[in-house]
Amino acid sequence: MKKYTLGMIGLGTMGRNLLLNMADHGYAVTGYDKDPKMLQILEEVGKEHDLKGFASLEDFVQSLELPRRIVLLVPAGAIVDSVIAELSPILDKGDMIIDSGNSHYTDTTRRALALKDQDLHFFGMGISGGEEGARFGPSMMPGGDKKAYSAMKEVLESISAKVNGDPCVTYIGPGASGHFVKMVHNGIEYAMMQLLAEAYDIMKNGMGYQNEQIQAAFAKWNQGRLKSFLMEVTAEVFAFVDEKTGNLMIDMIKDEAKSKGTGKWTSQVSMDLSLPIPTINEAVSSRDVSKFKKLRVELAAAFPHQTSIPENTAELEVQLEEALYFAMISCYAQGLHLLWQASATYEYELNLQEIAQIWRGGCIIRAELLEDIYQAYSKEPALEHLFADKNIQDKIKSTLPSLRKIITLSIENGLPITAFASTLTYFDSLRTEKLPSNLIQAQRDFFGAHTFERTDADGIFHALWNPITL
Ligand code: 6PG
């Protein structure tokens, strides 16, 4: 019986496309899905390829070379556990399961430990790039046992996106680091998307632009230093016509954003690690605010607001590009700072230079800007924060005045620009030598005897504050 190099469980859009990508690169691959419809689609689209679909999990397992390499592309959560429960008893020692969905990193830690007891290698691998990426070259973030990774390295490198010949995949680190890094990738994705949405709002309601002008601005920015996948997608959105009405599709979509949770997880972890990522947090909260449509309609009527459109929109458009550039740098800076902290706390041994490198292509947050970020970490691999890099400092210094101007205009006009505003206040906090946090300490000590540290002596102190009588 013919043996196959790699197997895929879950033949939905992502699984099927990744399998076709592997087959394109000359690998003999096989797939399994409970749903016969998925097997039928695979058979149709894979006619020309060296691949086979199985309706029986046992036959699928038996078709694979040893040690087996099995990729799971099933919805994150309980389904991953049930697939593992069915699969692991029929595997052999040394086989490898690679969970490529957006699983929570704590689930990956738990699953890896449980499977280790059965001498099975469990990898958590984030994949980014959507349907198109899976088919023609995604960015991949695998984490787990390093020795086991060598059995997958060649396949992953060949199917990944490439930038200047470098594959957009690398061994991320031990444990659940692969899924952790993918989660933070998504947090950055949320922040970038929110900034682009706010730029749309500023152009529409602060500058009086029509959709065509907004489309032109996004398309133009995508020709320059803001060139990125998300900018390109955004420009395309503003050119897409709804067949049903003949209107632009953007005007036919409800203003209530959904999410699957990876952004929220990033914010939750940042709180656990006491590591601020305010723009990502605001992006998560803004999606949540958008869901309160009924309340928003009520409050819009209670607090009517007039915006005054300035005349110098050409100058404002230039400033908005600069503000966006600053803010996009900050999205990466916050996400990478979180990775820097997580690497130390969870012993993930993350190489931020390599992470910036594999994000340059294939993934949703790929952008021209990542080249500078990659260079910053190449110069200083232990860099704590991107804002400490001289080249990045030059870029944010030159665009900061525009960020302030755009925010001022937006605030005066009552535009909800939570991501832009938090970008600026985060920066202003970080570049402030003396924050008013001494008052927080005094208040805590006043009402709760929580103690404080002094500027002129080491140790812990408590003051006998004057009592307050209510
Ligand atoms: C990717 C994307 C992908 C998915 C997001 C969407 O990197 O390819 O991030 O994983 O599109 O999870 O997330 P939300 O549904 O939460 O917006």
The CATH number that applies at residue 320 is 1.10.1040.10
pLDDT score of 1: 81
- Cα distances from 38 to residues 15, 17, 54, 127, 443, in angstroms, run 10, 12, 10, 21, 62
- Ligand 1 center to 102 CA (angstroms): 8
CA gyration radius, the chain: 25
Q: Which of 141, 175, 209 is the last residue of a domain?
A: 175
Give me the phi and psi of 52, to 5 degrees please: -145, 145
The total of structural domains in the chain comes to 3
- Ligand 1 center to 148 CA (angstroms): 27
Tell me if 128 CB under 6 Å of ligand 1.
Answer: yes
pTM: 0.97
| Residue 376 and residue 231 share a domain | yes
Tell me if 130 CB under 6 Å of ligand 1.
Answer: yes
| Residue 90 and residue 75 share a domain | yes
* Per-residue pLDDT reduced to its tens digit, 293-329: 999 999 999 999 888 888 899 999 999 999 999 999 9
| Residue 460 and residue 394 share a domain | no
pLDDT score of 151: 92
Other Cβ atoms less than 10 A from the Cβ of 199: the count is 26
* Per-residue pLDDT reduced to its tens digit, 147-168: 889 999 999 999 999 999 999 9
Distance CA 89, CA 120 (A): 10
Other Cβ atoms less than 10 A from the Cβ of 66: the count is 11
| Residue 461 and residue 425 share a domain | no
Instruction: Evaluate whether 3 touches 65 at the Cβ level (below 8 Å).
Output: yes
- What CATH number should be reported for the domain holding residue 456? 1.20.5.320
| Residue 468 and residue 405 share a domain | no
- Ligand 1 center to 366 CA (angstroms): 14
Instruction: Give the chain's count of helices (H) and strands (E).
Output: 19, 9
Cite the active site residues: 182, 189
Extract the tokens encoding 361.
């292509």
Extract the tokens encoding 183.
């989660």
Q: Is residue 1 part of a domain?
A: no
Atom of ligand 1 nearest to the CA of 190: 17
Instruction: Evaluate whether 230 touches 322 at the Cβ level (below 8 Å).
Output: no
| Residue 381 and residue 272 share a domain | yes
> Best substitution site from 184, 228, 364 to test ligand 1's pocket, by max atoms within 8 Å of Cβ?
364
Give the angle subtended at the CA of 180 by the CAs of 169 and 194, to the nearest 5°: 95
- What CATH number should be reported for the domain holding residue 22? 3.40.50.720
pLDDT score of 90: 97
Extract the tokens encoding 195.
């900034």
| Residue 457 and residue 408 share a domain | no
Atom of ligand 1 nearest to the CA of 130: 8
Other Cβ atoms less than 10 A from the Cβ of 25: the count is 13
Rounded to the nearest 10 degrees, the angle between the axes of helix 370-379 and helix 390-412 is 140
Distance CA 387, CA 371 (A): 15
Atom of ligand 1 nearest to the CA of 186: 9
Q: Is residue 12 part of a domain?
A: yes
Instruction: Tell me which residue range forms the domain holding 462.
Output: 436-470
Instruction: Evaluate whether 374 touches 149 at the Cβ level (below 8 Å).
Output: no
The dihedral formed by the CA atoms of 151, 155, 160 and 163, expressed in degrees to the nearest 10? 80
HEC string for 291-304: CCHHHHHHHHHHCC
> Which residue from 93, 99, 9, 17 is spatially nearest to 56, judged by alpha carbons?
9
67: preceding bond cis by omega (within 30 degrees): yes
The dihedral formed by the CA atoms of 316, 319, 325 and 330, expressed in degrees to the nearest 10? -100
Give me the phi and psi of 230, to 5 degrees please: -65, -35
| Residue 144 and residue 292 share a domain | no
Tell me if 363 CB under 6 Å of ligand 1.
Answer: yes
| Residue 450 and residue 399 share a domain | no
Average pLDDT per 10 consecutive residues for the chain, totaling 470 residues: 94 96 96 96 91 95 96 97 97 97 97 95 96 96 93 96 97 97 98 98 96 98 98 98 98 98 98 98 98 98 89 95 98 98 97 98 98 97 97 98 97 96 98 98 97 98 92
Q: Which of 151, 175, 199 is the last residue of a domain?
A: 175
| Residue 317 and residue 410 share a domain | yes
Other Cβ atoms less than 10 A from the Cβ of 397: the count is 10
Q: Where are the beta strands (DSSP E) in 217-312?
A: none
Instruction: Evaluate whether 338 touches 277 at the Cβ level (below 8 Å).
Output: yes
Other Cβ atoms less than 10 A from the Cβ of 200: the count is 19
Q: Which residue has the tokens 């009552």?
A: 414
Atom of ligand 1 nearest to the CA of 138: 8
Tell me if 262 CB under 6 Å of ligand 1.
Answer: yes
